[in-house]
Chains A and B, each alone.
Chain A
Amino acid sequence: MHSDTLIQVDHAPIATTIVEPRKAFWDLELGALWEYRELLYFLVWRDVKVKYKQTALGVAWAVLQPLLGTLIFSIFFGRLARMPSDGVPYPVFVYVAMVPWQYFANALTESSNSLVASQNLIKKVYFPRLVIPLGSVIAGLVDFCFAFLVLIGMMFYYGITPSPSIFLFPVFLLLAVCTALAAGLWLSALNVQFRDVRYTIPFLTQFWLFATPVVYPSSLVPARWRMWYGLNPMAGVVDGFRYALLGKSAGPGPMIWVSAAAVVVLLLGGLLYFRKMESTFADVV
């Protein structure tokens, strides 16, 4: 039996693929993911393009969502409940948190259903399936950019000058992206098998919103619970955003490290679970 693995045809050497029952799911095949980066780009491009076609307000929705949320929270929590806001006008206080939060909530919702929504592709075309939830998570960043621009505008309006710590915000953004991806991997893989998952998302995001210091400062949480509180990675993200952009609150402190560790664990676990279930997607979806 021949065992040659490389043949020259035209100019490119041809590699051999072996298709056999899958054993090692800890091989994340990140190389294949890099090879399909153009597909990732096109899927993100498609999601972004399609999202606002045939809408009247178009991309303005990317800004209206967090703004309207801020408005409502400002009235009920800021005015009526007189929530403390770290010495910063409440609307800005909330909006700074709403921008990454809205990104996270949307990315989570989209990515958790992404595999089922793309079942046609999954059943008919080969590509590393990681591309799908990853695409949803990245597509959300476009909306994030618009909301962020409005945030800058808002900061000027309220006369808040950014401090050098503003350059740290990409770090916290990355943390948000990783959290969204981690949760998305778990949920999308579970959703393929158990369709209930999709219906739990709205409830999950609601609950998560209140577990995250969006409408209240994290200083409200008693010190002895702060570490447990930090297990919610979005708590670290929001505190980080507030710190980076408003400069007034003290740094997020040791809680951020708990958040970061939680994300790493969640992400790695998510990647492994996703890879383990990947071979069943085409058959079950």
Chain B
Amino acid sequence: MSSIAIRAEGLGKRYRLGASVQYKTLREVLPGIVSGAVRRVRSIGSSNSEAESFWALRDVSFDVKHGEVIGVIGRNGAGKSTLLKIFSRITWPTEGRALIHGRVGSLLEVGTGFHPELTGRENIFLNGAIMGMRKTEITAKFDEIVAFAEVDKFIDTAVKHYSSGMYVRLAFAIAAHLEPEILIVDEVLAVGDLAFQQKCLGKMSEVSRGGRTILFVSHNMPVVEKLCERAIVLHEGRVAYEGETSGAIHHYLHSTLAANTADGHIFDLTNATNRRAAAGNLLQRIELYTDDDLPMLEGIRIGKGLKAKVFFHLPKPVRSFDVGLGFDDMFGQRIFTANSLFEPARPTGEWEGSQVFVCEIPSFTLMPGMYHIKVWMDVNHTVADTIFQAARLTVLESDYYGSGKAPWNGAVVMKHNWYVDESANPLLVSKLENKP
């Protein structure tokens, strides 16, 4: 028995670029026909169609098993939406093919088909029908949908009077009650407030637990990590990575880092691209060292010391300057900020020219993983230069607690002890006392 829900075989989609993509007017086309004919006569034998087109997808092949929740991630323009459109049969591939076993419900945009003049009730039927539900199905689920969307009081008002939140809730509520074997969701969770997003996530988890297959496209990495067992990374139309979700996310984040030249422990910032500098580029270089002043080449073990040397240049004399280092995990979450603002013994006097500012961290207690370092500089209490993802630091496993086991869970480690409070339990004390 086949357990494959979707099989993509060498899918490719080519789009023609430029004027030919847009709709035309006859006025533009008629002279084109003449010149086109001339061009065709001239270029007999040579094919120049490749030059004016671009491949949104190329040679994409993968399998999705029934009941799996697969994430599809990648940069904007990587081909994710095109891939979903092909699976939803909205557009056809230029080459290759896809085999789909089961009914597909696509949620590519929230509220497709909603008509502002119709009431919520009418739109539920309309939208449900557009998404492929039968009328009887919609009627049966009507109350559930209204309850999920929390628009009971407004169900008979024209949708154009709804707030944007209500609109989105209703639209998602309808889509959430589709029961296709395969659900394809494209970035729709980005809209809506936090409560709504939680609700949507809950519903999607429910759907996947029900054994349905879900193909989920999102830029929200924590959500992808939470929902999806496997993920595919698309890069410029090709499959760059296919496998376990955390690996996929790692691959994606790693490959989209600003291209700073990284020489192990030296990070040259003079040509950094991800930068905001109000008055010229002040930051020049970051160098990472261990607490023994050895270059940080491989990574730092938890609990060991770190020295970050920040090299910058001050063109004019300044009285005060500050540098901050932000350590972000692979989801872009800020775990720790080291800022010279917090230094009690701040540098005094006037400073000018090239300087080296050293940040000494005696014990680095972030959990193993890859961290990106953001660096910024304040001059006279105003932000002067900021560089995102300026440097990278890998934290390696170690037996931090001296217990023989390396810690594996959480964002940080902290020294702590466990002991039994014997004085609180009289029974225990008497037991101990009675021991031979």
Contact = CB atoms under 8 A, between A and B. Distances in A.
Interface of A: 2-5, 7, 9, 14, 16-22, 38-39, 41-42, 45-46, 49-50, 53-54, 120-127, 192-196, 279, 282-285
B103 A42 contact: no
A99 B112 CA distance: 35
Given A122-B90, A195-B25, 16 more contacts: A4-B1, A7-B1, A7-B66, A7-B102, A19-B93, A42-B125, A42-B129, A46-B115, A124-B90, A124-B108, A125-B112, A126-B90, A126-B104, A192-B23, A195-B23, A284-B23
Given A4-B1, A50-B115, A120-B112, A18 B23 contact: no
Nearest to B4: A2
6 contacts: A3-B2, A7-B102, A17-B89, A21-B95, A42-B129, A283-B15
B79 to A, nearest CB: 14
B102 A14 contact: yes
B60 interface: no
B354 interface: no
Nearest to A19: B98
Of B26, B118, B129, most A-chain CB atoms within 10 Å: B129
Contacts, number: 129
Given A4-B2, A20-B96, A126 B106 contact: yes
A5 B100 CA distance: 10
B97 A20 contact: yes
A274 to B, nearest CB: 15
Contacts of A285: 23
Interface string B121-158: 01001100111101100000000000000000000000
B109 A124 contact: yes
A45 B123 CA distance: 11
A124 B89 CA distance: 10
B364 to A, nearest CB: 48
A66 B118 CA distance: 28
Contacts of A120: 109, 112-113
B352 interface: no
Contacts of B99: 16-19
A38 B97 CA distance: 29
A18 B25 contact: no
Contacts of A283: 15, 21, 91
